[in-house]
Amino acid sequence: MKTSKLFYLPGYPLEVDQLQWLKDARALRERLLQEIKQAKRRIYITALYLENDDAGREVFAALIDAKKHNPNLDIKLFVDFHRAQRGRIGEKDGHGSDHMYRQMLDAAQVTFEVYGVPVKTREIFGVLHLKGFIMDETLIYSGASINDIYLHQHDRYRLDRYHVITQPQLIETMIEYLNHVLLTEPKIQSLLVAEKPSKLTVHRFIRRYRKRLMQKQYRPGTLSIGNRVTPLVGLGKRTNMLNKTILRMLRSSKEAIFMCTPYFNPPTAFKRALGTLLRSGIQVDMIVGDKKSSDFYIPPEQEFNLIGVVPYIYEQSLRRFLKKFQWAIDKNLLNVYVWKHDDNSFHLKGLSVDNRYHMLTGNNLNPRAWGLDLENALLIHDDKQVWLPAFAQEKQNMLQHAKSMEHYTELETLSAYEPEVVKILKRLHRFRISSLVRKIL
């Protein structure tokens, strides 16, 4: 039997106690605040955004307190350049989170670095989607950003995955990437300067910057056998090592794969690989979010707009896939679970192959993640199967509020949707725009 190329993929050695799991979003919040408070040397936080809400302000205030108690503490916050400088969708207040950063730092009379990372000249065509909260020698890795719902600050939560890794070499290579790849023009990228550079200056910078992002990778480590962790990063389609590794994972499977994604909208190559696996007799388990657990879903009591059709587009995509592979469902080769818990939302991402390779990532496994956004991931090689019980328990936790799909007809048809949804979907289909929506959202 031919050995998978994944077996030789280099990484950093990972001991049993260097990988831990956090239970839920509240545990993430508590651990993050604890690690910030006790940090002695450095705090590097990377997220799509740190929101101007209760949870975001609490975390930002914790960073300020840490800096006050230890002026030599190296603190850098990296968020998406465009996302940080606009208000939330639907809000009339035009202030972005950067306004809050400046206000809170000025009031506290301390300072630390807050940088915006631009991937494209417009947010809709690409964002910073890297993950990782580093405090000294501890990495908290999750698909979550920082706001009320991701940290379960109030009544609602957004379910994600939460891992803590204490591998010093891995952390150093991630720090190196942040300092020498993400940070290239501090004056342009700083979000603490009220007077912004001109659009022409920013656009010229972004064009150079994007090429750099597409070329640079994490240092991969040197260990090619045994339990280890491989950091991966990718942007664009042609040279994207993350995308290539995901496909390599799928094609290397001999027994079973498990995947989770907020919605079913895989790139064409990914979808074809799933079909090949099923026809080869490989078991495929997946968890996706119900349309009502999507962060794009608009409840009936709120005013409906175009963005609200996105969950319905994804549901129809899943329905078509299940219809095509109903035979695999009947043979128990394909097991699809749809998650819904009250009015909470679903944000799980990741891929496991043969209970041996586990990809932890914020990657949505969709065309946008594969072509537009800057993504990263950590590939855990569990050669000795030491984390098998922990990953199995994590999967059971994911399934707690998930329903198994026995037949594709359990998902609604277009005619069952609200009239305004049907009207927009038909219009998108008529003008052949729905495929574009799937690529950019």
Q: Which of 53, 80, 129, 290 is catalytic?
A: 129
**At how many degrees (to 10) do helices 54-69 and 97-108 cross?**
30
Average pLDDT over residues 22-37: 98
| Predicted pLDDT at 4 | 64
3 state DSSP class of 371:
helix
Tokens linked to 220: 């991969």
158: β partners? 345
- Asked whether 294 and 345 are in contact (CB, 8 A), the reply is yes
| Predicted pLDDT at 247 | 96
Residue 194: exposure state from Cβ atoms within 10 A (0-12, 13-18, ≥19): exposed
DSSP letter (8 states) at residue 197? P
Domain boundaries, the chain: 15-215, 230-440
The neighbour count for residue 326, using CB atoms within 10 Å, is 16
Q: Report residue 3's pLDDT band, with 50, 70 and 90 as the boundaries.
A: low
- Condensed to tens digits (0 to 9), the pLDDT of residues 155-178 reads 999 999 999 999 999 999 999 999
Whether 185 sits among the annotated catalytic residues: the reply is no
| Predicted pLDDT at 95 | 80
pLDDT above 70 coverage of the chain, percent: 95
Range list of β-strands (E), 208-333:
228-234, 256-261, 283-289
C-alpha 244 chain-centroid distance: 17
Euclidean distance between CA atoms 257 and 277, whole angstroms:
9
Euclidean distance between CA atoms 379 and 392, whole angstroms:
17
CATH superfamily assigned to domain 15-215: Endonuclease Chain A (3.30.870.10)
Name the nearest CA neighbour of 76 among 36, 18, 33, 126.
36
- Position 437 pLDDT exceeds 80: no
Average pLDDT over residues 407-429: 91
Euclidean distance between CA atoms 220 and 215, whole angstroms:
14
- Asked whether 180 and 135 are in contact (CB, 8 A), the reply is no
- Asked whether 405 and 411 are in contact (CB, 8 A), the reply is yes
Most distant CA pair in the chain, distance: 65
Tokens linked to 385: 């199967």
- Position 123 pLDDT exceeds 90: yes
Q: Report residue 41's pLDDT band, with 50, 70 and 90 as the boundaries.
A: very high
Q: Which of 53, 80, 98, 160 is catalytic?
A: 160
| Predicted pLDDT at 147 | 98
Whether 15 sits among the annotated catalytic residues: the reply is no
Name the nearest CA neighbour of 259 among 163, 359, 144, 373.
359
Pairing state between β 158-159 and 42-46: unpaired
Q: Report residue 326's pLDDT band, with 50, 70 and 90 as the boundaries.
A: very high
Residue 123: exposure state from Cβ atoms within 10 A (0-12, 13-18, ≥19): middle
Task: Using the structure block, give the residue that is written with the tokens 């190559």.
Answer: 269
- Position 273 pLDDT exceeds 60: yes
Q: Among 2-6, 186-190, 226-230, 305-309, where is mean pLDDT lowest? A: 2-6
DSSP letter (8 states) at residue 412? P
- Asked whether 425 and 309 are in contact (CB, 8 A), the reply is yes
| Predicted pLDDT at 304 | 87
Q: Report residue 426's pLDDT band, with 50, 70 and 90 as the boundaries.
A: confident
351: β partners? 259, 359
Whether 401 sits among the annotated catalytic residues: the reply is no
The neighbour count for residue 428, using CB atoms within 10 Å, is 17
| Alpha helical stretches, state H, 70-198 | 97-108, 168-177, 186-189
- Condensed to tens digits (0 to 9), the pLDDT of residues 379-404 reads 999 999 999 999 999 999 999 999 99
The residue type of 63 is: L
Q: Which of 53, 98, 315, 375 is catalytic?
A: 375
Name the nearest CA neighbour of 125 among 204, 235, 228.
235
Pairing state between β 128-129 and 374-381: parallel
Q: What is the pTM of this model?
A: 0.95
Whether 163 sits among the annotated catalytic residues: the reply is no
- Position 332 pLDDT exceeds 60: yes
Q: Which of 152, 347, 358, 381 is catalytic?
A: 347
- Position 314 pLDDT exceeds 60: yes
- Position 1 pLDDT exceeds 50: no
- Condensed to tens digits (0 to 9), the pLDDT of residues 289-304 reads 999 999 999 998 888 8
Euclidean distance between CA atoms 327 and 315, whole angstroms:
19
- Asked whether 289 and 259 are in contact (CB, 8 A), the reply is no
**At how many degrees (to 10) do helices 310-324 and 419-430 cross?**
70
| Predicted pLDDT at 190 | 97
- Position 89 pLDDT exceeds 90: no
Q: Among 53-57, 180-184, 231-235, 430-434, where is mean pLDDT lowest? A: 430-434
Name the nearest CA neighbour of 221 among 272, 181, 170, 171.
170
- Condensed to tens digits (0 to 9), the pLDDT of residues 44-87 reads 999 999 999 999 999 999 999 999 999 999 999 999 999 999 87
Domains 15-215 and 230-440 share a fold: yes
| Predicted pLDDT at 100 | 97
Which CATH number applies to 230-440? 3.30.870.10
